[in-house]
């Protein structure tokens, strides 16, 4: 909590330090087989000193979609990123709001029509991306439903990944574990 408070106060005093740059290098070797790694993030115009390593991602498609099943499809990685971002928001804002969170599980389902990716029936007729995404958010917490609904709204509205997907209709539901 004190680290979060300190970070918020530092940004209030100097908003420019919150300007961030994240980067990934992605290489497609054959077909849909790709390998990506994170590059050095930047915060406030300076490299983030605490990032001591690059993280690796693999990508691919199942054989039915012309791949060799070497990793998740990019659209699955996108859903994973969305879940990680909203889940992190529950932890961060829950701590800030004094709402104890024991666990958050987010089951994400995205719906798309692959005709768009294939340019069928003609390019531009069908969107290539998700038509909609639904999240089932299961939270284990002793907090009240009202507190958790408020936290859900804050975590979702502050999510950089969800905001980046704002062209995609998004729905969610909250399930509370006791």
Question: Per-domain residue ranges for the chain?
Answer: 1-72, 73-178
Asked if the model's pLDDT at residue 90 lies above 90, the reply is yes
Beta-strand relationship, 103-111 and 132-140: antiparallel
137 by DSSP, 3-state: which? strand
Higher per-residue pLDDT: 59 or 1: 59
CATH architecture assignment, domain 73-178: 2-Layer Sandwich (3.30)
Q: What is the pLDDT of residue 58?
A: 94
For position 82, what pLDDT does the model report? 97
pLDDT at position 1 over 80 = no
Contact 127, 165 (CB under 8 A): no
Of residues 168 and 109, more confidence is placed in 109
**Phi, psi (5° rounding) for residue 26?**
-120, 130
CB-CB contact of 85 with 163 (8 Å)? no
User: Do 1-72 and 73-178 fold alike per CATH?
Assistant: yes
The average confidence (pLDDT) of the chain is: 94
Would you say residue 7 has pLDDT above 90? no
Residue 94: pLDDT band with limits 50, 70, 90: very high
* Annotation: CATH topology of 1-72: GMP Synthetase; Chain A, domain 3 (3.30.300)
For the question of whether the overall pTM of this predicted structure is more than 0.75, the answer is yes
Tokens of 138: 């299961």
* Pair of tokens at residue 84: 């990680």
Q: Is a pLDDT exceeding 90 seen at residue 168? A: no
Say if strands 132-140 and 170-177 run parallel, antiparallel, or are unpaired: parallel
In this prediction, residue 6 has a pLDDT band, given cuts at 50, 70 and 90, of: confident
């Amino acid at each position: 909590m004190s680290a979060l408070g300190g970070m918020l106060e530092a940004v209030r005093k100097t908003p420019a330090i919150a300007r961030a740059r994240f980067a990934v290098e992605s290489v497609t070797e054959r077909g849909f087989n790709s390998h990506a790694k994170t590059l050095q993030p930047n915060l406030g115009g300076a490299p983030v000193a605490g990032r001591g390593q690059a993280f690796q991602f693999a990508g691919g498609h199942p054989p039915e979609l012309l791949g060799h099943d070497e990793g998740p499809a990019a659209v699955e990685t996108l859903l994973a990123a969305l879940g990680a971002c909203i889940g992190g928001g529950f932890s961060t804002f829950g701590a800030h709001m004094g709402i104890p969170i024991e666990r958050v599980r987010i089951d994400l389902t995205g719906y798309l029509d692959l005709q768009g990716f294939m340019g069928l029936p003609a390019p531009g007729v069908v969107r290539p991306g998700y038509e909609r995404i639904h999240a089932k958010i299961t939270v284990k917490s002793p907090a009240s439903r009202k507190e958790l609904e408020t936290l859900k709204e804050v975590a979702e509205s502050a999510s950089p990944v969800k905001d980046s997907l704002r062209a995609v209709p998004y729905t969610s539901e909250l399930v509370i574990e006791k």
